[in-house]
Structure 1
Amino acid sequence: MKRILINATQAEELRVAMVNGQRLYDLDIEIPSREQKKSNIYKGKITRIEPSLEAAFVNYGAERHGFLPFKEISKIYFKENARDDNGKLNIKDAIKVDQEIVVQIEKEERGNKGAALTSFISLAGRFLVAMPQNPRAGGVSRRIEGEDRDSVKKVMSEVNMPEGMGVIVRTAGVGRSSEEMQWDLDYLSQVWTAVEKAAAAKKAPFLIYQESNIVIRALRDHYRSDVGEIIIDSPEAYQQAHDFMSMVMPNSLNKLKKFNDKLPLFNRFQIENQIESAFSREVTLPSGGAIVIDHTEALTSIDINSARATKGSDIEDTAKLTNLEAADEIARQLRIRDLGGLIVIDFIDMMQNKNQREVESRLRSAVYDDRARVQIGRISRFGLLEMSRQRLRPSLGESSQIVCPRCSGQGTIRDIESLSLAVLRLLEEESLKDSTGKILAKIPVECATYLLNEKRDKIDGIEQRHNVKVVVIPDPGLETPHYLIERVKEGDTHRHESNYKKSYELTTEDESIDPVELSSRQSTPSEVPAVQHVELPGLKPPSATKKQASKEPGIVRKLISAILGSSESPQENLVEESSGQNRGNRNTSRNRRGRYRGNANRNR
């Protein structure tokens, strides 16, 4: 049975897991102090126009200004007679600095890049996505095919469409009546009306409309008719889900259940270890092989190792079986970790083309249910397969991990001898500069031990050749590969702190020279949106057009039940069904003078 499990017992981290039986197939984690901004609507102000980039930068209230490409600017914001004599449209002629504009975040901030913005607003509902400023856009989701596509088009022909609005039918809209579609569209139209009113009432920049929280998003985006249960372990989150489902999908309320057990929810369904594996670099395959996932600035690389896999009859067969297992696991890990962008997979070499085609086909099948857009290439003669995946939200690593403060994300550091010799060379380099009176080297204890013993004669030679004083300070507050070299001029030596402090008092314990920001995502107070709640007075959600008939248990099940008793799963006794529903249905540097010397890849 498919279930949606919502763990909200820890206020600092809300988790939503989609499971099939006890196998995790999708995961969403939200940290309230770093709420996602994607799909939020803001009123912003254009601060800079860059014709060379064909884009504008918009201040929408964040620390970094957003990036707004020219193609993402609606014509309603263009100046009159913006086209030149040849009929061409230039961004500088179309818009102006300090112009106010309503924008929506299309991509979250990443690293040093600001958020990507668009002025073509889209509002996601249960069955539809409305695009108020884009009447020519719209249609039916690419995932809806065949007869379902034709029936959806027929239903939408009966829906009264607002003027100037485009609509896309989501996969959840399959099998819905025109009344249900109309209700969803009317609600989204009302939201857009509220957004327009709020935008006109206040000067930029400010937040107009905020995307729903993780609980509502999970129900809206992940709930399908094949989901048997929605189990929540927090009273507050349960109430949010109950209110939302009562309004949007009242006929599914019997699937909403409150978890009551001393054992944590995720442990009960044995998925906690699966979540922890998503933070690991290496994931083991059932046959004994493994996939290794590494991240770089340009792409994500995935390597497949056969390791202890010996299932096949020969090398080719073993490689094929391991690659097929890897294809399934890669598709699952992409969803759980929400990896986006360019992904390169290094499959185990296979000599036969038919085996390569089979692996490609398995990967395409495995990503079929992925909500993100996925493009898959073919296995090259080097055994590499390129694919790309749409970034739906910040990846698991970006939202829950920080750059290692020791290696700055590189993964390796220099050894003691290599780093010590590098420091020794820098001491010589600093001593060659004019008017150098003293050089202070604050270095890790291990490096200082090496220099003061194995390389003492080299330090003495630097002092004698250049007539400078070298002070080596073993600093317990520093770890390889971090160090600080400070050059003091001859005229400043009598004023420098090293002149009246002992060398052991010059350590960096109380100085803030941490070379890496421990977290690039600082918590900021949540902004209150201008539009918080939209109601449709007098309009109630229509009941579902089709009710699933309760399945009569087969004769084998009846016999088993008669002999062994009820066949209900043990989890069902640990949850409370939603009140008011049919309870009978159980199936439903700091560098003062000189330079801060350390790792060149340091993030600040």
Structure 2
Amino acid sequence: MTSEVIVDVRPKEISIALLEDKRLVEYQQEGREAHFSVGNIYLAKVKKIMPGLNACFVNVGYERDAFLHYLDLGIRYRSLDKYMSLLGDGRKDASITKALGQGDLEKEGSVQNVVKQGQEVLVQIQKEPMSTKGPRVSCDISFPGRFLVLIPFSDKISVSSKIRSSQERARLKQLIHSIKPKGFGVIIRTVAEGKRASELDLEIKILYQRWEETISKVRKARQAQKKIEAEAKSPQQALQNYRPTLCYEETSRAVALLRDLFNPSYENIYINDKEVFNDIRAYVSMIAPTRLDIVKLYQGNVPIFDNFSVTRQIKSSFGRTVTYKHGAYLIIEHTEALHVIDVNSGNRSRSPEGQEVNALDVNLGAADELARQLRLRDMGGIIVVDFIDMAQPENRQKLYERMVENMKSDRARHNILPLSKFGLMQITRQRVRPVEEPNVEETCPTCGGTGKIKPSILFTDLLEGKIRQLSQQLHFKRIRLHVHPYVAAYLDKGFISLKRKWQFKYKTSIQLTPNEGLAYLQYQFYNDKGEEIDMRGVKEMA
């Protein structure tokens, strides 16, 4: 099986598609303008104690202060507090081992007995700010990697419960115990199963280096803070003038999206943006330096998703109705409580061997497509599938085994029950990320959904008018025009095509690009740097 990752970087969003044997099996999309801070570590000050909530509010630089509950201080808080006091004394020999042995924090304690107003704490953001609430933070610091999670002030080594082999669990524990730094605990993730000592040792060194860089920033921030406190006229003014310090920032969005998805067995990773290409290349060089050649910069004129047939698969794989082999199809409905999927044979011809064989064939195909859809849409919670009824128990068992086999490649935790007597299969599945449900229906860009448009034969006149504006009014000498593939074929047909006529007439180089992501009469103009030209605010020439 061949696996490839396609990364489409656009001005407003980043999309990542995972292809297995050229088929789309996972799809993730996130906005570039959104600010993601989960995982960031701040040196911050306690601004207000709330005994009634057994919590405090911490200034981490957001509009609203972060919420820190007593239980989020973590059982290792006393060691962290001791280490922070050693750093505050300016001791260059302050090491994490000298802060160990402070005892665990009591579960039933009170926050006002542990932290004080104006105290500096090292916190990590656990939850993004939402609506009127600020972010939620924790003092239980951790550094996640591909194979391991490094946890300061702990000596415990934990192994993912998904690693079932007792021999492999013992091997990993013994291996990590021999290479981990003193005073640090480690969580061994599922993907570490079967990995060599050199791979795990390299990641521990990378994660430990992040800890060292974080503490280096804490030292500098504390020195700067001492100057501010010395210049302040009162403790209240010092607290008011305090500026929290970002000591560790999570990786870029593209790398964060790829981190849990990445597998060194991938044959290619294509990226259409130079900056993101460098970020991903640097990340792969750290975790799999021998596979650096799989990261490739895509520089084709055709949109990257169109070139690898991803756009077409997105259009056909999402929506209420999904067709698979021989005309059979799935109907997928999402409710508040669960997801319901109905299997239909459609207009496929009946098998000469009878209805039972026909039903089994349709159901097995549905099981293949369903396993793909669960990963593609990340359908979490309860999923109920209504398969076509089958009378023979061995066929029902065969369908159940096929579904179990298909779901082995799913990274999310799941549980599958055999078919009930009504032909229903029940599946529970953990949600790995927010549900993906791209809108594949297209609103007419010309009429805006009203159903009334100008004559389509005048569309080329509209395009010519826009090109005239770009050439004579805005003085563009090179432009790129993205249109639907059917329109592109029409504009480029013949030796003296419309495109060629416009180039001669307006003395402007026009690069025509068919784009499957556009509606029939939709168009987009780009400059020679790949930046979209917005024509909405440009008044048409007389």
Looking at structure 2, the residues matched to 353 and 51 of structure 1 have their Cα atoms a distance apart, in angstroms, of: 60
Is 1:299–1:343's contact at 8 Å kept on the other side of the alignment?
A: yes
Could you tell me which residue of structure 1 aligns to residue 364 of structure 2? Answer: 324
Is 2:155–2:182's contact at 8 Å kept on the other side of the alignment?
A: no
- Give the counterpart of 1:189 among 201, 204, 208: 208
Looking at structure 1, the residues matched to 418 and 43 of structure 2 have their Cα atoms a distance apart, in angstroms, of: 44
Looking at structure 1, the residues matched to 306 and 414 of structure 2 have their Cα atoms a distance apart, in angstroms, of: 32
Looking at structure 1, the residues matched to 58 and 384 of structure 2 have their Cα atoms a distance apart, in angstroms, of: 34
Aligned residue identity for 1:181: L
Could you tell me which residue of structure 2 aligns to residue 23 of structure 1? Answer: 23
Percent of pairs identical after alignment?
A: 32
Looking at structure 1, the residues matched to 391 and 128 of structure 2 have their Cα atoms a distance apart, in angstroms, of: 42
Tell me if 1:266 matches 2:266.
Answer: no
Could you tell me which residue of structure 1 aligns to residue 11 of structure 2? Answer: 11
Residues 297-354 of structure 1 show CA distances to partners (whole Å, capped at 9, x for unaligned) of: 3333333333334565444443333333222222212222233333333333444444
Could you tell me which residue of structure 1 aligns to residue 180 of structure 2? Answer: 160
- Alignment RMSD, CA only? 4.5
Tell me if 1:360 matches 2:400.
Answer: yes
Q: How is 1:517-528 mapped onto 2 (pairs within 5 angstroms)?
A: none
Structure-1-length-normalised TM-score? 0.54
Deviation at 1:32, TM superposition (A): 0.6
Aligned residue identity for 1:334: L
Going from structure 1 to structure 2, the CA distance change for 1:349 and 1:250 (only over 3 Å counts) comes to: same
Residues 109-161 of structure 1 show CA distances to partners (whole Å, capped at 9, x for unaligned) of: 78999977655443222432223355435225625747655654453343134
Residues 194-230 of structure 1 show CA distances to partners (whole Å, capped at 9, x for unaligned) of: 4456568486877553332243235543333421222
Tell me if 1:176 matches 2:216.
Answer: no
Looking at structure 2, the residues matched to 295 and 225 of structure 1 have their Cα atoms a distance apart, in angstroms, of: 35
Residues 254-274 of structure 1 show CA distances to partners (whole Å, capped at 9, x for unaligned) of: 222222333332222222111
Looking at structure 1, the residues matched to 174 and 157 of structure 2 have their Cα atoms a distance apart, in angstroms, of: 18
Deviation at 1:92, TM superposition (A): 6.8
Aligned residue identity for 1:342: I
Task: Give 1 or 2 for the bigger CA radius of gyration.
Answer: 1
Deviation at 1:185, TM superposition (A): 1.0
Going from structure 1 to structure 2, the CA distance change for 1:102 and 1:288 (only over 3 Å counts) comes to: farther
Is 1:37–1:105's contact at 8 Å kept on the other side of the alignment?
A: yes
Deviation at 1:384, TM superposition (A): 3.7
Going from structure 1 to structure 2, the CA distance change for 1:70 and 1:373 (only over 3 Å counts) comes to: farther
Could you tell me which residue of structure 1 aligns to residue 493 of structure 2? Answer: none
Secondary structure at 1:129 match in 2:
strand
Looking at structure 2, the residues matched to 82 and 272 of structure 1 have their Cα atoms a distance apart, in angstroms, of: 56
Looking at structure 2, the residues matched to 330 and 74 of structure 1 have their Cα atoms a distance apart, in angstroms, of: 41
Going from structure 1 to structure 2, the CA distance change for 1:148 and 1:274 (only over 3 Å counts) comes to: farther
Tell me if 1:389 matches 2:389.
Answer: no
Aligned residue identity for 1:131: I
Tell me if 1:239 matches 2:258.
Answer: no
Looking at structure 1, the residues matched to 67 and 357 of structure 2 have their Cα atoms a distance apart, in angstroms, of: 50
- Give the counterpart of 1:373 among 408, 413, 422: 413
- Give the counterpart of 2:376 among 336, 354, 363: 336
Looking at structure 1, the residues matched to 385 and 314 of structure 2 have their Cα atoms a distance apart, in angstroms, of: 22
Tell me if 1:130 matches 2:150.
Answer: yes
Name the count of aligned residue pairs. Answer: 399
Secondary structure at 2:409 match in 1:
coil
Is 1:38–1:393's contact at 8 Å kept on the other side of the alignment?
A: no
Could you tell me which residue of structure 2 aligns to residue 209 of structure 1? Answer: 248
Secondary structure at 2:411 match in 1:
coil
Going from structure 1 to structure 2, the CA distance change for 1:108 and 1:161 (only over 3 Å counts) comes to: same
Going from structure 1 to structure 2, the CA distance change for 1:299 and 1:73 (only over 3 Å counts) comes to: farther
Q: How is 1:60-139 mapped onto 2 (pairs within 5 angstroms)?
A: 73-77=73-77, 89=108, 104=124, 119-132=139-152, 135-136=155-156, 138-139=158-159
- Give the counterpart of 1:285 among 295, 301, 324: 324
Deviation at 1:168, TM superposition (A): 1.0
Aligned residue identity for 1:160: K
Is 1:123–1:188's contact at 8 Å kept on the other side of the alignment?
A: yes
Is 1:46–1:56's contact at 8 Å kept on the other side of the alignment?
A: yes
Looking at structure 2, the residues matched to 217 and 378 of structure 1 have their Cα atoms a distance apart, in angstroms, of: 36
Going from structure 1 to structure 2, the CA distance change for 1:14 and 1:384 (only over 3 Å counts) comes to: same
Looking at structure 2, the residues matched to 156 and 370 of structure 1 have their Cα atoms a distance apart, in angstroms, of: 27
Secondary structure at 1:257 match in 2:
strand
Going from structure 1 to structure 2, the CA distance change for 1:350 and 1:58 (only over 3 Å counts) comes to: farther
Looking at structure 2, the residues matched to 124 and 189 of structure 1 have their Cα atoms a distance apart, in angstroms, of: 11
Is 2:49–2:112's contact at 8 Å kept on the other side of the alignment?
A: no
Is 2:322–2:329's contact at 8 Å kept on the other side of the alignment?
A: yes
User: Which stretch of the first structure deviates more once superposed, 380-389 or 282-291?
Assistant: 380-389
Is 1:233–1:260's contact at 8 Å kept on the other side of the alignment?
A: yes
Aligned residue identity for 2:370: I
Aligned residue identity for 2:288: M
Going from structure 1 to structure 2, the CA distance change for 1:40 and 1:371 (only over 3 Å counts) comes to: farther
Secondary structure at 1:174 match in 2:
coil
Looking at structure 2, the residues matched to 11 and 308 of structure 1 have their Cα atoms a distance apart, in angstroms, of: 43
Structure number with the bigger relative contact order (C-alpha 8 A, sep ≥ 6) is 1
Is 2:412–2:432's contact at 8 Å kept on the other side of the alignment?
A: yes
Looking at structure 2, the residues matched to 31 and 220 of structure 1 have their Cα atoms a distance apart, in angstroms, of: 17
Gaps of 5+ in 2: 82-101, 226-241, 441-449, 451-542
Tell me if 1:345 matches 2:365.
Answer: no
Is 1:376–1:388's contact at 8 Å kept on the other side of the alignment?
A: yes
Gaps of 5+ in 1: 403-478, 480-604
Q: Which has the higher helix share?
A: 2
Could you tell me which residue of structure 2 aligns to residue 302 of structure 1? Answer: 341
Looking at structure 1, the residues matched to 67 and 361 of structure 2 have their Cα atoms a distance apart, in angstroms, of: 45
